[in-house]
Amino acid sequence: MTPIQRPTPRPHPSLSRNLMLAGILITLFFIIVAVFAPTFETWGWLQDPRASLVNPIHEPPSLDHWFGTSRQGYDVFSRTLFGSRAALQVVILATSLSLILGVPLGLISGYLGGRVDRILLFFMDTIYTLPGLLLSVTLAFVVGRGVFNAAIALSISYIPQYFRVVRNHTTSVKTELFIEAAQAMGATPRHILTRYLFWNVIQSVPVLFTLNAADAILILGGLGFLGLGLPLDTPEWGHDLKLALDSLPTGVWWTTLFPGLAMTFMVTGLSLLGEGLSDIFNPETRR
């Protein structure tokens, strides 16, 4: 007797839409905060995140200081909001640099094949085998602190991911009939790469971009916790967590809670956005 095959349950379409909407709202909130934080400071709505208030120190959350103050006399609310600005600056720059380098290299490697493909694969696989945080820490020691330097340290570890995704798609798309027809009509490799292959393999890049951005926030936090990445006076969540670590055993919980929550919410928002984009570009993966 043949057993009854039950259909595989699928998530309701509204669930994916709601999760993506939540990711968009969370990400949009942090973008607005990052863009308008200096304006809020000018209007007097935020304290100077780099200025020590001296007195009071270690004040719990109150009407005067919504997230309390730190051992260094900083306003935690102001530092937390300005931390989103530093995170977005570094993360957007890092993921953009890796995208600009990884996508063209993946297209060229996948289309040309042969020795060029083997050489690029060797270098990219070598970088890909190194842990992202370890590679970023090593590069941060070499290039030093700063927004652009931190972006470079982060971007190197993401270039192979764009390369591998684009290369794999290119190797499968270049055998399609419309590519062969373009070659038969005398189209140059540059024309084929930019006109046909690029627009057929670029669909998965936005998904990878958002997921890499979420991962970059965590790595940037790790660099800040180790005292690397951005200048020490810059409001940055990882560095603020390091400064607050000594105060935690004394019952001062607010200096670690709020920067940690901000980092968690921002990573969650970007991850949900990436999963939502994945469902849009790859409907077969929803199951």
Q: What is the pLDDT of residue 203?
A: 80
CA 91 to CA 266: how far, in whole Å?
A: 12
Residue 122 falls inside a structural domain: yes
pLDDT per residue as tens digits for the range 3-23: 555 555 555 556 677 888 999
CATH code for the domain in which residue 144 is found: 1.10.3720.10
Residue 184 falls inside a structural domain: yes
pLDDT per residue as tens digits for the range 129-174: 888 888 888 888 888 888 888 899 889 989 999 999 999 888 888 8
Calculated CA dihedral for residues 67, 71, 72, 75, nearest 10 degrees: 10
Share of the chain above pLDDT 70, in %: 91
Taken in order 144, 145, 150, 154, the sign of the CA dihedral is positive
pLDDT per residue as tens digits for the range 173-189: 888 888 888 888 888 88
CB 229 within 8 Å of CB 218: no
pLDDT bin (cut points 50, 70, 90) of residue 85 is very high
Tokens in use for 235? 């409001």
Say if residue 207's pLDDT is above 50. yes
Residues facing residue 69 across a β-bridge: 75
Residue 220 falls inside a structural domain: yes
Say if residue 1's pLDDT is above 50. no
CA 121 to CA 111: how far, in whole Å?
A: 13
> Could you tell me how many residues make up the chain?
287
Q: What is the pLDDT of residue 9?
A: 52
Q: What is the pLDDT of residue 103?
A: 92
First vs last Cα of the chain: how many Å apart?
A: 29
Local structure of 69: helix, strand or coil: strand
CA 275 to CA 277: how far, in whole Å?
A: 5
Q: What is the pLDDT of residue 282?
A: 67
Residue 65 falls inside a structural domain: no
Element (H, E) at 85: helix 76-112
Q: What is the pLDDT of residue 183?
A: 81
pLDDT per residue as tens digits for the range 218-274: 999 999 998 888 888 889 999 999 988 888 888 889 999 999 999 999 999 999 988
Residue 237 falls inside a structural domain: yes
Residue 44 falls inside a structural domain: no
Tokens in use for 195? 């006109």
CB 192 within 8 Å of CB 110: no
Q: Looking only at Cα atoms, what is the longest distance across the chain?
A: 80
CA 11 to CA 14: how far, in whole Å?
A: 8
Give the structural domain span for 247. Answer: 70-281
Instruction: Give me the number of domains the chain comprises.
Output: 1
Burial label for 89, CB within 10 Å (0-12, 13-18, 19+), is: middle
